[in-house]
């Protein structure tokens, strides 16, 4: 596979977050509008400059045209509303970059907004067994991602001897990062004892193996490289991306659940960008659960297959380690903005704005979206 033809043709020019909380007291529209306007203003632009939108959701958010109407965007040249999961944490920005690079639009806002804690809780839609997978799962009480990823995790533990403490090391490390992040929903550190004492959710997962549901929104502005260079911040270029899988893209029928989509998408990503895992200075990896991180670290080549547990326990993923990972605390400890927040943190790091979390000299950042049988990643860099 060749280098991506749109390498460095687009860049992130603006980012924004709302407050992350357990009860926003606001409508999802208010959160979306605040994040979008914040990112537009961060770029040094106005709504009159915006001509594209992307959002993704699990039936818990507001659509692009409603947001465009609320903000007063006078004309739109391209827009996409996606019903989909965390893989769109990278996929949504990828799509915006493709639209901008193709000339379909020039200034594209990408957002994720939800009252994920106080409002519509993920996985709590009145479940129906009419879905293709659901009729095989719901009769047996198998329903939500904390169960699916726990099921996958067990195979890694059985095959490689990965332990609860290995998973705990991920949770503890990311919680430490969150204590340096004023936005994070968790502000207090956690010890391994705290992690192990927490209640079971789905063995092998305990409470802190699971992401923290929150209310909040994040947005980024994607524009052309040339336009970005004329705006407020140093551009964070989108160098390349990969998105998909190899194998049965099925949560129940994947061939080897001790591996993830990253075993293939990693290869594609490095070929598309001409990089390797060693070139990445900071990695914001989709961490709906601790094991989601472990599986992707192995697949992308940050450590050898099977060694993810000891790797995470060694300090390698800490802010001062070999590959600082989820420097904001991730979905586990900053909060579950469905992976959109990983893009904002990556850009913040590359701008040099991450304060006490700053990875010194960070020039190349990776963001992934998704876990399990399919997903994707983006590479950002500065020049």
Residues 120-159 that bind another protein (CB under 8 A): 123-124, 127-130, 132-133, 135-144, 146-147, 150-152, 154-155, 158
Candidates 193, 226, 252, 353; binder of another protein (CB under 8 A) is: 252
Say how far apart CA 220 and CA 365 lie, in whole Å: 15
Helical (H) or strand (E) element with 313: helix 308-313
Residue 296 Cβ, how far from another protein at the closest point, in Å? 19
Instruction: Name which of 91 and 295 has its Cβ closer to another protein.
Output: 295
Say how far apart CA 325 and CA 327 lie, in whole Å: 5
Three-point CA angle 111, 115, 120, nearest 5°: 115
Residues 94-123 that bind another protein (CB under 8 A): 123
Q: How many residues touch another protein (CB under 8 A)?
A: 39
Instruction: Name which of 136 and 230 has its Cβ closer to another protein.
Output: 136
**Per-residue tokens: 95:** 């799509």
Q: Is 2 in the site for another protein (CB under 8 A)?
A: no
Residue 144 Cβ, how far from another protein at the closest point, in Å? 7
Candidates 2, 59, 75, 253; binder of another protein (CB under 8 A) is: 253
Positions annotated as catalytic residues are 286, 336
Instruction: Name which of 147 and 179 has its Cβ closer to another protein.
Output: 147
Q: Is 230 in the site for another protein (CB under 8 A)?
A: no
Q: Is 257 in the site for another protein (CB under 8 A)?
A: yes
Residue 201 Cβ, how far from another protein at the closest point, in Å? 4
Piece of 82-90, 177-185, 194-202, 305-313 that binds another protein (CB under 8 A): 194-202
What's the start-to-end Cα distance of the chain, in Å? 24
Instruction: Name which of 134 and 281 has its Cβ closer to another protein.
Output: 134
3-class DSSP state of 29: helix
Residue 138 Cβ, how far from another protein at the closest point, in Å? 4
Instruction: Name which of 159 and 351 has its Cβ closer to another protein.
Output: 159
Question: Cβ(245)–Cβ(264) under 8 Å?
Answer: yes
Say how far apart CA 216 and CA 235 lie, in whole Å: 25
In 3D, which of 383, 26, 36 has the Cα closest to residue 234?
Answer: 383
Say how far apart CA 105 and CA 93 lie, in whole Å: 14
Say how far apart CA 139 and CA 137 lie, in whole Å: 6
Binding mask 197-226 for another protein (x = CB under 8 A): --xxxxxxx---------------------
Q: Is 246 in the site for another protein (CB under 8 A)?
A: no
Neighbours of 188 (CB within 10 A): 8
Instruction: Name which of 59 and 128 has its Cβ closer to another protein.
Output: 128
Residue 137 Cβ, how far from another protein at the closest point, in Å? 5
Question: Cβ(207)–Cβ(228) under 8 Å?
Answer: no
Residues 297-326 that bind another protein (CB under 8 A): none
**Per-residue tokens: 6:** 């749109």
Question: Which single residue is written with the structure tokens 């109407």?
Answer: 69
Piece of 231-239, 251-259, 276-284, 311-319 that binds another protein (CB under 8 A): 251-259
Strands 364-369 and 107-115: unpaired
Instruction: Name which of 295 and 369 has its Cβ closer to another protein.
Output: 295
Q: Is 38 in the site for another protein (CB under 8 A)?
A: no
Question: Which single residue is written with the structure tokens 């994707």?
Answer: 376
Instruction: Name which of 210 and 317 has its Cβ closer to another protein.
Output: 210
Say how far apart CA 80 and CA 311 lie, in whole Å: 39
**Per-residue tokens: 200:** 């079971």
Residue 331 Cβ, how far from another protein at the closest point, in Å? 18
> Residue 22: which residues within 8 A CB-CB, separation 6 or more?
117, 118, 185, 214, 215
Residue 304 Cβ, how far from another protein at the closest point, in Å? 22
Question: Cβ(270)–Cβ(276) under 8 Å?
Answer: yes
- Residues lying near another protein in the complex (CB under 8 A) are found at 123-124, 127-130, 132-133, 135-144, 146-147, 150-152, 154-155, 158, 199-205, 248, 250, 252-253, 255, 257
């Amino acid at each position: 596979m060749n280098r991506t033809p749109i390498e460095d043709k687009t860049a992130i020019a603006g980012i924004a977050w709302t407050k992350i909380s357990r009860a926003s007291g606001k409508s999802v529209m208010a959160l979306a509008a605040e994040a979008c306007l914040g990112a537009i203003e961060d770029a040094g632009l106005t709504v009159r400059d915006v001509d594209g939108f992307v959002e993704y959701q699990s039936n818990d958010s507001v659509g692009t045209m409603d947001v465009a109407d609320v903000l007063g965007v006078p004309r739109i040249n391209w827009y996409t509303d996606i019903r989909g999961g965390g893989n769109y944490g990278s996929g949504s920005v990828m799509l915006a970059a493709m639209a901008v690079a193709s000339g379909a639009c020039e200034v594209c806002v990408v957002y994720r907004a939800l009252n994920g804690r106080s409002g519509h809780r993920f996985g709590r839609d009145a479940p129906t067994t009419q879905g293709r997978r659901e009729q095989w799962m719901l009769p047996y009480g198998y329903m939500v991602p904390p169960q699916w990823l726990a099921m996958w995790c067990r195979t890694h533990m059985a095959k490689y001897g990965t332990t609860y403490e290995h998973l705990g090391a991920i949770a503890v490390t990311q919680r430490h990062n969150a204590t340096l992040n004023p936005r994070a929903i968790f502000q207090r550190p956690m010890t391994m004892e705290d992690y192990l004492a927490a209640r079971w959710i789905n063995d092998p997962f305990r409470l802190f193996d699971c992401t923290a549901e929150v209310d909040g929104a994040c947005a980024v502005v994607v524009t052309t490289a040339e336009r970005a260079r004329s705006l407020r911040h140093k551009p964070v270029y989108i160098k390349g991306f990969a998105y998909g899988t190899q194998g049965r893209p099925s949560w129940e029928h994947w061939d080897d659940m001790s591996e993830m989509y990253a075993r293939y998408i990693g290869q594609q990503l490095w070929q598309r960008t001409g990089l390797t895992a060693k070139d990445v200075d900071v990695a914001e990896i989709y961490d709906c659960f601790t094991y989601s991180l472990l599986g992707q670290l192995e697949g992308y080549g940050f450590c050898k297959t099977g060694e993810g547990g000891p790797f995470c326990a060694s300090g390698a993923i800490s802010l001062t380690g070999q590959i600082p990972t989820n420097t904001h605390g991730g979905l586990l400890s900053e909060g579950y903005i469905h992976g959109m927040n990983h893009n904002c943190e990556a850009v913040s790091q590359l701008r040099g704005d991450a304060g006490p979390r700053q990875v010194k000299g960070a020039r190349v950042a990776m963001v992934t979206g998704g876990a399990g049988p399919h997903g994707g990643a983006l590479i950002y860099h500065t020049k």
